[in-house]
């Protein structure tokens, strides 16, 4: 056994990894599964015991979802919605990170844009739906615009804060080695800011799904929003909840994908910090 391996083994024995730190982070995977099972069980029991007309049991909702997938009814709307989601979120990521990096690195840029970013963040996002419709007309463009409005400002603010909270000692160390401003930005600031930037992307990913559904509901009856609108018009609660379950699954999948990317791009972090994030 090499000296480095022996030292690592001794450190691991003295400071064992906390048992609650699992593959998915601090909580691990089993508490998530247990909590999800309890929620589904509660839904099923309430739906069968109370027999509310507009609150069917989870088994019926899941059966309706599989039925729509099996007969292909949900596939075209789902494809359209996911396309809008991918385009809108992609635009937000590119422009949000770029603007956030500029605001974090240059005080004058932050002073010029800060008031607009926070004003648009606090404004109700659906207020911009009619504006998007009047600009782009009927089609996917206004829905994509709503998705961008829902997500880009979260990314900008998180990226700006991530750059501004990089320890000054790291930057001074880079300067002591005669690194140029570009080298400091590329090799020190961006890697140090990545964990917080990725946290902002996770928040924005869930918001993007919300913007997708709201845009389809309130601007144009297309995609999954059209399925919800038609089912709601005929008081079909089972179909509405089935699409809701599908939407929540999409949001969870988006967050998991971003989390997986986060794990790869921040692989240089110590394991203790990765587990506690």
Task: Write out the DSSP string of 135-173.
Answer: HH-SSHHHHHHHHHHHHHHHHHHHHHHHHHTS-HHHHHH
Domain range annotation of the chain: 75-267
Q: Decide: 225 and 215 in contact? Cβ < 8 Å.
A: yes
pLDDT of residue 158: 94
In the predicted structure, residue 238 carries a pLDDT above the cut 60 = yes
The residue-averaged pLDDT of 145-162 equals 93
Confidence of residue 230 (pLDDT cuts 50, 70, 90): confident
What are the tens digits of pLDDT across the range 174-212? 877 777 778 888 888 888 888 889 999 999 998 999 888
pLDDT of residue 170: 79
Whole-angstrom distance, CA of residue 180 vs CA of residue 230? 59
pLDDT of residue 208: 93
What are the tens digits of pLDDT across the range 12-59? 444 444 444 444 444 456 777 888 888 888 888 888 887 777 888 888
Better pLDDT: 270 or 200:
200
What is the model's pTM? 0.79
**Tokens linked to 79:** 């494809």
In the predicted structure, residue 122 carries a pLDDT above the cut 50 = yes
Q: Nearest-CA neighbor of 195 among 274, 90, 275, 116?
A: 274
Largest CA distance in the chain: 72
Q: Decide: 214 and 126 in contact? Cβ < 8 Å.
A: yes
**Tokens linked to 157:** 């603010």
Sign of CA dihedral 9, 13, 19, 21: negative
Q: Decide: 211 and 154 in contact? Cβ < 8 Å.
A: no
CATH number of 75-267: 1.10.3720.10
DSSP 8-state class, residue 57: -
pLDDT of residue 271: 54
What are the tens digits of pLDDT across the range 71-117? 988 899 999 899 999 999 999 999 999 999 999 988 899 999 999 99
pLDDT of residue 201: 93
The residue-averaged pLDDT of 245-273 equals 82
In the predicted structure, residue 274 carries a pLDDT above the cut 60 = no
pLDDT of residue 220: 66
What are the tens digits of pLDDT across the range 124-135? 877 777 777 777
pLDDT of residue 246: 92
Whole-angstrom distance, CA of residue 218 vs CA of residue 232? 14
Percent of the chain with pLDDT over 90: 27
pLDDT of residue 150: 92
Sign of CA dihedral 220, 223, 229, 230: positive
Question: What residues have CB less than 8 Å from 165, skipping those under 6 apart?
Answer: 193, 196
Whole-angstrom distance, CA of residue 263 vs CA of residue 224? 31
Q: Please compute Rg for the chain using Cα positions.
A: 23
C-alpha 142: how far from its chain's center? Answer: 21
Q: Nearest-CA neighbor of 258 among 212, 203, 186, 209?
A: 203
In the predicted structure, residue 164 carries a pLDDT above the cut 70 = yes
pLDDT of residue 178: 76
pLDDT of residue 191: 85
């Amino acid at each position: 056994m090499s000296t480095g391996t022996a030292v690592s083994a001794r450190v691991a024995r003295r400071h064992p990894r906390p048992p609650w730190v699992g593959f998915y982070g601090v909580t691990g995977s089993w508490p998530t599964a247990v909590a999800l099972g309890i929620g589904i069980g509660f839904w099923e029991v309430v739906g069968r015991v109370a027999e509310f007309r507009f609150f069917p049991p989870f088994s019926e909702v899941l059966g309706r979802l599989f039925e729509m997938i099996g007969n292909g009814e949900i596939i075209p709307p789902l494809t359209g919605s996911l396309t809008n989601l991918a385009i809108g979120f992609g635009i937000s990521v590119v422009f949000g990170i770029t603007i956030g990096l500029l605001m974090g690195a240059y005080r004058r840029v932050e002073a010029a844009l800060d008031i607009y970013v926070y004003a648009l963040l606090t404004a109700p996002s659906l207020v911009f739906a009619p504006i998007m419709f009047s600009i782009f007309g009927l089609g996917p463009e206004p829905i994509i615009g709503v998705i961008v409005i829902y997500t880009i400002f979260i990314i900008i603010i998180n990226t700006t804060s991530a750059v501004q909270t990089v320890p000054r000692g790291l930057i001074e160390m880079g300067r002591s080695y005669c690194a140029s401003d570009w080298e400091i930005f590329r090799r020190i600031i961006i890697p140090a800011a990545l964990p917080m930037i990725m946290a902002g992307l996770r928040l924005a990913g869930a918001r993007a799904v919300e913007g997708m559904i709201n845009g389809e509901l309130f601007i144009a009856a297309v995609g999954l929003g059209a399925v919800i609108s038609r089912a709601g018009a005929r008081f079909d609660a089972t179909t509405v909840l089935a699409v809701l379950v599908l939407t929540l699954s999409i949001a969870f999948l988006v967050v998991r994908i971003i989390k997986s990317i986060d794990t790869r791009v921040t692989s240089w972090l110590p394991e203790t910090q990765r587990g506690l994030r």
